[in-house]
Chain A
Amino acid sequence: MKIKRQTLGAPLLETFLYISVFGAALGSRIDELEGIDYVVFIVPGLILMAWAINAFSNNSSSILQQKFQRAIDDQLSSPASPLELLLAFSLGGFLRGMIVASLTFGAASALVGVPVEHALVLIPSLFLVGFFFAQLGVLVGIRAEQFDDVSFAQTFVLQPLIFLGGVFYSAALLPEPFQTLTRFDPVYYMIGLVRYGFLGYSEVDVALALVLLSAATLALFLLNHRLFVRGYRLRA
């Protein structure tokens, strides 16, 4: 949060560009998807993407940066427990993601109008998504030894999974085998949940997706906690 132009400004501009390019330019040709305006159809995915990528990149790069400067030693030599340290490192990205996602929602609502059909599904889903990617960021940050490791994970793993998970389209429109392949992408289910929460439309089994997402988030959290207890790549 110390560098707001990068942490808040850049993601907001990105969202604005997506809405203009995909919504205004492409949207004029596509018109409607599943009975929903194309530009509105992509907003839930954009909000999810904003939260996910910011939670991930904030945590992974903050941890790596602190490891480089050894500034992390100040926290590691404090009486804070492994659980406290893990939560502190997780919440940084989680909250930044939440702020960017909220701003994105605000901006999108102002530009195109976004409904919220099932808030009780939407809110826990977005929180889980944010926490999942916050944990993933912590994991990559701890493991990373150079900045390339972080950008590799983001560019070659995260972005493709998010883009191919159907942020900009409905997977139902894809030809085979891509439609089936998409079902192996965990982000597909996350987008399904969030889109259901906003628009009331979903290609996935909402209850099952929520259970799976909770399980995956918990598993990742427990793994990170174990690594913090062991001091993996943090304590010599």
Chain B
Amino acid sequence: MVAVALQITDLVKRYPTGTEALRGVSLSIEQGEFFGLLGPNGAGKSTLIHCATGLARPTSGQIRVFGHDAVDHYEQARLAVGLAPQELNLDWFLTLEETLDYHGGYFGMPRRERRERTRELLAAFSLEKQKDDRTRTLSGGMKRRLILARALMHRPRLLILDEPTAGVDVELRLELWRYVERINQEGTTILLTTHYLEEAERLCDRIAFINDGQIVAEGTSEQLTAEYGVASLEDAYLRLVGRGELSRAHVPEIAP
């Protein structure tokens, strides 16, 4: 039997303002999978991630990370998850080395292991030279790499990437793809949210479309295009959001 890395059942999240960000989401991501979650802004992607990592409290429903309930047994559940959030949420006063070291500390890693892992990650993400710099002095691309390194620090079995390539240049995007593909091949399960359909198509084994707080379709890229009767994932997506007319498949005539 293949273990389930993330099992979400009937998840509802209603904010105090009354907004229902998630309206009964169920989702299952198997161990070792590279899973994509796509949807327009405000569809509920980040809320789902926040519920799975303890940053938001679910209103009802259940989240299990490798079998551990994310609310009742949050310690075990959170130990298994590494989160690279959308925002560059680094503490400005810390150096790069401290950022990784503190994170390891929050996750209960012994000092020696933290030191070794920090060195390893700074090298892997080409950040060794900056290790004593404060994070606020870094370029956007370096911050992005550091956030990914931080998410990997405690060797999570499930890595959650919330729009990791938003606003990064082409080189870094390709570099990040290579990193995460390798991490996935080494056995880490990955949940990726992105607005770049090419990214999802290239990286993800399976994809779910979320819209208005609900999962509306799920499958491989091929299954989704077949389901929507279109030629590309982008067209399937455009159908989902009701903007089929934007499809690049039918180029409008341009008047001479």
Residues on A facing B (Cβ under 8 Å): 2-3, 66, 69-71, 73-81, 231, 235-236
Contacts and interface: CB of A to CB of B under 8 A. Distances in A.
Chain A binding surface SS class:
loop
B170 to A, nearest CB: 27
27 contacts: A2-B94, A69-B92, A70-B85, A71-B90, A71-B91, A71-B92, A73-B55, A73-B83, A74-B91, A74-B102, A74-B150, A76-B55, A77-B53, A77-B54, A77-B83, A79-B74, A79-B76, A79-B106, A79-B108, A80-B106, A235-B54, A235-B55, A235-B57, A236-B15, A236-B47, A236-B55, A236-B56
B81 interface: yes
Interface string B74-95: 1110110101010101111110
Given A2-B93, A79-B76, A79-B108, 10 more contacts: A69-B92, A70-B87, A73-B89, A74-B91, A74-B150, A76-B55, A77-B53, A77-B55, A77-B78, A78-B103
Contact of B57 (A77, A80, A231): A231
Nearest to A84: B106
Contacts of B87: 70
A231 B74 CA distance: 13
Interface in B84-141: 85, 87, 89-94, 102-103, 106-108
A74 B106 contact: yes
A222 B62 CA distance: 29
B85 A73 contact: yes
A81 B75 contact: yes
Interface in B200-224: none
A73 B74 CA distance: 15
A190 to B, nearest CB: 31
Interface in B148-189: 150
A75 B89 CA distance: 11
Residue of A66, A73, A75 contacting most chain B CB atoms (<10 Å): A73
Contacts of B81: 77
Given A76-B54, A236-B15, A236-B55, A71 B89 contact: yes
Interface residues of B, number: 29
B50 interface: yes
Contacts of A235: 54-57
A79 B78 contact: yes
Contacts of B94: 2
A66 to B, nearest CB: 7
Nearest to B46: A236
A66 B57 contact: no
A62 to B, nearest CB: 9
A186 B42 CA distance: 48
B91 A66 contact: yes
A129 B195 CA distance: 52
Contacts of A231: 57
B91 A69 contact: yes
B7 to A, nearest CB: 19
A231 B57 CA distance: 8
Contacts of B106: 74-75, 78-80
A7 to B, nearest CB: 11
Nearest to B82: A77
Contacts of B93: 2-3
A-B complex: 4 closest residue pairs judged by Cβ atoms: A78-B106, A70-B89, A71-B91, A236-B56
Contacts of A81: 75
A231 B87 CA distance: 20
Contacts of B90: 69, 71
A73 B79 CA distance: 14
